Structure 1
Amino acid sequence: MGVTAEWVSAPAVPEAGEAALMARVAAGEEAAFRLLAERHAPPLLRFADRMLRNRAEAEEVVQEVLWRLWRQAGRFDAERGRLATWLHAIAWRLCLDRLRRRGADLPLDAAAEARDAAPSPLDLASRQAEMAALAVHLAALPERQRAALTLFYHQEMEGPEAAAVLRLDLRAFWSLLRRGRAALRARMRGD
């Protein structure tokens, strides 16, 4: 099962039905697994790709997350949080492991998702330069600040959900996010 364009056109699965689908996955039902995988693979891939800046590694991370979803579906507890939070937390830890094994932080490719309707060549060049600068400065931040900014702004997670992914209490998450924004602003002003 590859993480390719086939994941992009996934049918919507109502969030309320995800707990029931997880129960079906725990019972070994492949159709329920496929529905959940089709829904969650695209945002997981975007997150992993931003964190790792390596599409092949990001796809491997998503495959591992989906494998764990299949194998550990019975451990999911809808009372403790959303499925997206649980899956992003797994992806976060896998990305962190890979980054630490590399021994270096690579820049995020924030420009990868810049989608303007039909910008002029001058606008496009200007936007690409801004996004490249942002990616460089974002990559220079500590991993936790980068992850907080990515989850909150790029993945559009609510604060409590992003805090759960990073295993922080909400107050600590807001503090981390505030420090990350301040550090990013300071780095951008230095250019």
Structure 2
Amino acid sequence: MNMPYDAHNDALADVPDEALLTLFASGDEAAARALTVRLLPRVLAQAVRMLGERAEADDVAQEALLRLWKIAPQWRRGEAQVSTWLYRVTANLCTDRLRKRARSAPLEAAPEPADESASAAQQMQSRSRAEALNAALAQLPERQREAVVLRHIEGLGNPQIAQMMNISAEAVESLTARGKRALTAILSGRRDELGFSDD
């Protein structure tokens, strides 16, 4: 007898990510659906923040989840959290796309959907800030950019970033500090233009 998806999904709500991945590897499609519902919004949000574009972020999120499904049968329990592994894969995929974008057209950015509550001037300023930040991030060394995005845009803690990047928490602190100084230097001449106050 087939259990309705919603009921089965409720039954899987408290099952840890790693256990769901193991169930999927054994052929449980409901476990894959439950894990997708749980992880996809986080992965998509991370990709949107790193790339600044929804369509590309959708592609990255799908690719990251496909890679998770492919490695499910070989997953070694206890070595890493599923979410941490997925964050790292997503960050790497985004970094690859940012590199390609920087090589082809570093300042080119897709227009963002209009925010009805913001004035045209506010929308232009927000878009200018996003473009300036993306361009500045693209100039950072890869490891600094990854650390800055994960810490200050994704809001992850240093210990989690350290695990994702296979470095110490002190090294994360150093990378983010150097990255922030570099971004400040890159953007310093554009503070008035971008509407930043001295904070």
TM-score, scaled relative to structure 2: 0.70
Q: Tell me how far 1:151 sits from its aligned partner.
A: 1.3
Residue pair 1:52, 1:108 contacting (<8 A) in 2 also: no
Give unmatched runs, 5+ long, in structure 1. Answer: 1-10
For residue 180 of structure 1, what is the amino acid of its counterpart?
G
Aligned residues: 179
Question: Residues 107, 66 of structure 1: CA spacing in aligned structure 2 closer, same or farther, 3 A cutoff?
Answer: farther
Aligned counterparts of 2:123 and 2:181: Cα–Cα separation in 1: 27
Q: Secondary structure at the match of 1:104?
A: helix
Q: Distance in 2 between matches of 1:188 and 1:54?
A: 21
Instruction: Specify every segment of 5 or more residues in structure 2 that has no aligned partner in the other structure, as ranges.
Output: 1-9, 191-199
- Largest Rg, 1 or 2: 2
Question: Matches of residues 19-168 of structure 1 in structure 2 within 5 Å?
Answer: 19-51=18-50, 56-77=55-76, 79-97=78-96, 104=103, 106=106, 118-168=117-167
Which of the pair has the greater relative contact order for Cα pairs under 8 Å at 6+ separation? 1
Tell me, yes or no, if the aligned pair for 2:60 and 2:93 is still in contact at 8 Å.
Answer: yes
Shift of 1:53: 5.8
Closer/same/farther in 2, CA of residues 118 and 35 from structure 1, 3 Å limit: same
Computed over aligned residues only, the root mean square deviation of the Cα atoms, in angstroms, reads 3.5
1-side partners of 2:130 and 2:172: how far apart? 25
Distance in structure 2 (CA, Å) of the matches to 1:38 and 1:107 = 34
Alpha-carbon deviation of 1:118?
A: 2.4
Q: Is the CA contact 1:53–1:107 (under 8 Å) kept in the aligned structure 2?
A: no
Distance 1:116 1:85, change over 3 A: farther
Deviation at 1:38, TM superposition (A): 2.2
Deviation for aligned residue 1:34:
1.4
Distance 1:156 1:76, change over 3 A: farther
Of 47-56 and 15-24, the range deviating more from structure 2:
47-56
Indicate conservation of the 8 Å contact 2:107/2:131, yes or no: no
Give the counterpart letter for 1:132 in structure 2. Answer: E
8 A Cα contact 2:43 2:90, kept in partner: yes
Distance (whole Å) between structure 1 residues aligned to residue 125 and residue 101 of structure 2: 32
The residue type equivalent to 1:82 in the other structure is Q
Query: Which residue of structure 2 aligns with residue 174 of structure 1?
Result: 173
How much does 1:29 deviate?
0.9
Stretch moving more, 157-166 or 116-125: 116-125
Deviations 1:100-141 (A, max 9, x none): 6678384696x959x978234443333333333222222222
Aligned residue identity for 2:17: E
> In the alignment, is the contact (CA less than 8 A) between 1:137 and 1:184 conserved in 2?
yes
Alpha-carbon deviation of 1:46?
Answer: 3.6
Distance change in 2, residues 1:175/1:15 (3 Å): farther
- Do the aligned partners of 1:108 and 1:138 also contact (CA within 8 Å) in 2? no
Change in Cα spacing, 1:27 to 1:107, as seen in structure 2 (3 Å) is farther
Greater CA drift, 83-92 or 57-66: 57-66
